[in-house]
Amino acid sequence: MTEIEERKARILMEMRGYREMRRSEMKDGVEFLVKAPRQEETILIWCVSERVGVELLRRMTREMNTVSSARGIIIVHGEGVTHATKDLARENGIELIPKDFPSFNIFKHKLVPLHEILTEKEKEEILKKYHVKVYQLPRIASSDPAVIAIGGKPGDVIRIVRDSPTAGEHVFYRYVVDETGKAAQPKNSYAEIHQTEATSYFEETEG
């Protein structure tokens, strides 16, 4: 039911820092118009009970144009979203939040470390510091719940900060790849050959 989807939408808004501009009832659900803090862009969020398909995506695309929204988000209610539907959603700037997305703020759990998307400037500084290309960083899938929670996309670099009672702050850097786990990189690259070594290399401890 859309009650659960609306709760997930509000949790998503909280974790990403979206500011609610408007909430309105739809025929089959609820619609939010929000503003993203970093990009200063307007985003349309739909919580609907119907299955996500081509017709729903077309309707959302039309509504996005009507309200001048840069991006759209659909909190998925049912199972069985096809690859073709996912591709169409991606092409139209629509993010599909999976059905198994948690209905609570995962970052309030003591076992879940802080995840942050680096700015382009921060990304450049990290790559310069380690003298590497972005695809040589250890990877994290875009389907990871924490990555979805903060709005990470393939190509982003995530900083993960874990508190340790003995070592202080432990900082990790991860390169976001698509849900298949593939990254855009040349064959037999450093990242492919030395992935295990690279994973520990791109970690920092601050105590």
pLDDT at 168: 79
Query: Are 151 and 106 a contacting pair, CB within 8 Å?
Result: no
DSSP-based three-state secondary structure for 73: strand
Neighbours of 146 (CB within 10 A): 18
Band of pLDDT at residue 205, cut at 50, 70 and 90: low
Give every CB contact of residue 109 below 8 A, 6+ residues apart in sequence.
none
- The number of residues making up the chain comes to 207
Rounded to the nearest 5°, which phi and psi values hold at 60?
-65, -40
Token digits for 4? Answer: 């659960």
What predicted TM-score, i.e. pTM, was given to this entire model? 0.79
Band of pLDDT at residue 187, cut at 50, 70 and 90: very low
Distance between CA 156 and CA 127 in Å, rounded? 12
Give the model confidence (pLDDT) of 100-128 as tens digits. Answer: 899 999 998 888 899 999 999 999 999 99
Domains contained in the chain, CATH given: 2-97 (3.40.1350.10), 106-206 (3.90.940.20)
Which of 149-160 are b and which e, b meaning 16 or more Cβ less than 10 Å from the residue's Cβ?
bbbbebebbbbb
Q: Which residue has the higher pLDDT, 143 or 187?
A: 143
